[in-house]
Chains A and B, each alone.
Chain A
Amino acid sequence: MSRTLPPGCRRWLDAIALYVDGDLEADLCRALEAHLQDCPDCRVLVDTMRQTVYLYRAAAREPVALPPDLHRRLFARLPGLGEEGSAAGRADAAPSEAAP
């Protein structure tokens, strides 16, 4: 039978979700870390939250396949770029390396 988080720890939920990548205000971060020292349940939550975020970030690094001919169809709609489709067709097969 799986255990669930005790009601008294629910007030830490939002803080734990933001704690895993350091997006938490300093005061709240210190308070949470003090709580984590004495709370094995919340430590499980931190660990599995961290893994959740890590898994999605790893999935995001996988190549993205564009529909065939998407660039050609797109450039055909852009005034002055209609012929670009043939040159850009190569990019349909190549995933982007760019970072935001």
Chain B
Amino acid sequence: MSASVSSPSQQHFVQAVEAYAPRLYRHLLYLLEDPQDAEDVLQEAFLKAYRSLDTFQGRASLSTWLYRIATNEALMHLRRRRSTPLSLEALSPDDGPPEEILLTHWQVLPEQALLSAETRQVLDDAVARLSPALRAVFLLRDVEGFSTKETAEILGISTDAVKQRLARARLRLREALTRYFAADEEARP
């Protein structure tokens, strides 16, 4: 540890940065879809967290606290970037279940799918097409691994709202992957 770290809270903060920066960066990259924006927002989030260290109580919720700060910063950034208002409070009609649910069965092993750059792009594009309201919930629950309760706490919404948005997000992602993998299966001799 560097001599410039002069207090236990600073030492903990440096450890938190080293532990959480990679995952927070990925979270922000998914949310913002721009590497420079993701880095800028990550820096702002850690700066804000550092200045608020004395308001943080209890290591048990350190990750929830950091993700709340970073996610709020990202959503503020998205609001500034968009010409139309961004609301996390209500779902738009576009956030409903897909009009058509394809029933083609597909099966792919993660090690097969994740080795292919094309498949990774399909996974990422499907997430990028979700509205910010659905995307934020999906990323926190299924990518970052937070519980429903923790996700509700991070986003400041009810657990029922988290469940509804997670369901809608998963349905849209399943549809996107089904259209991709089913086309693959149908093309096989």
Total residue contacts A-B, CB cutoff 8 A: 178
- For window 75-100 of A, CB contacts with B under 8 Å fall at 75, 77-84, 86-88, 91, 95-96, 98-100
Our pick among B39, B64, B171, B178 for the contact of A100 (Cβ within 8 Å) is B64
Q: Closest residue to B162 on the A side, CB-wise?
A: A23
User: Do residues B103 and A17 form an inter-chain contact, with CB atoms below 8 A?
Assistant: no
B174 at the interface (CB under 8 A from A): yes
Q: If A52-B174, A81-B4 touch, does A73 touch B144 (CB 8 Å cutoff)?
A: no
A14 at the interface (CB under 8 A from B): yes
Q: How many residues of B contact A (CB 8 A)?
A: 65
On B, residues with C-beta under 8 Å from A are 1-6, 10, 13-14, 17-23, 25-26, 35, 39, 42-43, 46-47, 50, 63-64, 67, 97, 100-108, 110-111, 113-114, 120, 123, 127, 142-146, 148, 150, 163-164, 166-168, 170-171, 173-174, 177-178, 182, 186
A75–B84 alpha-carbon span in the complex (Å): 35
A17 to chain B, nearest CB (A): 4
- Chain A residues with CB under 8 Å of B13's CB are 78, 81
User: Do residues B182 and A2 form an inter-chain contact, with CB atoms below 8 A?
Assistant: yes
Interface of B is mostly: helix
Interface centre among B5, B18, B144, B186 (most CB of A within 10 A): B18
Interface of A is mostly: helix
A75–B5 alpha-carbon span in the complex (Å): 11
Offer 9 A-B interface pairs, CB within 8 angstroms, sorted by A: A2-B102, A14-B97, A18-B163, A23-B148, A49-B170, A60-B143, A71-B21, A79-B50, A80-B10
A10 at the interface (CB under 8 A from B): yes
A73–B11 alpha-carbon span in the complex (Å): 18
- For window 2-29 of A, CB contacts with B under 8 Å fall at 2-5, 10, 13-15, 17-18, 20, 23
A4 to chain B, nearest CB (A): 5
